[in-house]
Structure formats: C-alpha cells, structure tokens
Homo-oligomer: A and B are copies of this chain.
Amino acid sequence: MQLPEAKQKFIETWGKLGSEWGINRTMAQVHALLLVTPDALTTEQVMEELSISRGNANMTLRDLIGWGLVEKQLRPGERKEYFYADKDIWNIARQVAKERRKRELEPVLKTLEELVQVKGDKNDPEFKTFHKSMTDINKMSKNADRMLDTMLQADESWFWGSIFKMFK
C-alpha cells in the first residue's frame, strides 16, 4: 500500500470509529487528516483534501478546537488561519476522556444523585428494585469517575503514574 492510499484508509477508519462512539464522522476525519499531516493546514486545504464544504470545514475545525484537540496558528504577515493537531496520542486520549466526562457523564451523575434520593415503601418490590439499581449505578459511576479523574492526573500521582508507565 502506498502513502496516499494509506492516509485515506486511516481517515476512513478513524471516521468510522468516531461515529460508532458518538463523535461526528467528519470531525473524526478532519482530526485524522491533521494527525497524519506534518504541518498546519488552512480551512481551504481541509476542504480540498476531504471534499467538504467551507461551512462544514469551518464548524468542524471550531469544534475540534473546542475539544482541545486542534490549535489555531497565525503566521506573521498572513491573514489565513492554520490548524494544527497535537500528535501525542496520550494527550488526545486524555483530552477526549476529559471532555466527554464533562459534557456527558457529569449531567448523568447529577440526575442519578437525585434519583437515589427518591423515597418509597421499603416493602414494595418495585421500589426496592428501583432503589437498588439507582444506588448501584450511582456507586459504580462515582467510582469510575474517580478512577478516570485519577488516571487523567496520572502524571501527578506516583501510584497510577507508575502503573501507567507500564502501558506507555
């Protein structure tokens, strides 16, 4: 397989993976493109490479910046904006985990907290089952959340830090 074909395949694969995990396909594709490109690209170049419209390219690039995955670069004497993706995969994973936790997990944790509080008749099986499920899910989510938090700060924690070094 030659480089251009390989790039295409990577963009396609990354896009598919993204969409299966709730990330807009185009966003994942633009990210993939920037990941395999040594230097920063302009909106125009992204449009060109992926055959997408200006509006789409613009919105997607802004989203990627919002996710902390891409940065805008300005070059002295040039008006165009250039976009560059961090290529450290560990940073990328961290960043995505962080954002999704904030955007999607946190609101759920808040709701669960409420639902655990719901009072009812302790002899009613309906209530018992509901309460147990809420308590269990809440407990596990909180633990997962704490664990994620610890992992995200792994560099600062000797304990997880040393465990993760095994995997880096």
Residues of A within 8 A of B (CB): 1-3, 6-7, 9-10, 13, 16-17, 19-22, 35-39, 87-90, 93, 104, 108, 111-112, 114-115, 117-118, 120, 124-130, 132-134, 136-137, 140, 143-144, 146-147, 167-168
* Chain B residues in 8 Å Cβ range of A127: 3
Contact sample, A vs B, 22 pairs, CB 8 Å cutoff: A1-B114, A2-B118, A3-B118, A6-B118, A7-B130, A9-B111, A9-B114, A10-B134, A13-B112, A17-B108, A21-B21, A38-B128, A87-B129, A87-B133, A87-B136, A89-B136, A89-B137, A90-B140, A93-B140, A143-B167, A143-B168, A147-B167
Count of this chain's copies in the oligomeric assembly: 2
Q: How far, in angstroms, from A19 to B125 measured CA to CA in the complex?
A: 29
* Chain B residues in 8 Å Cβ range of A22: 19-22
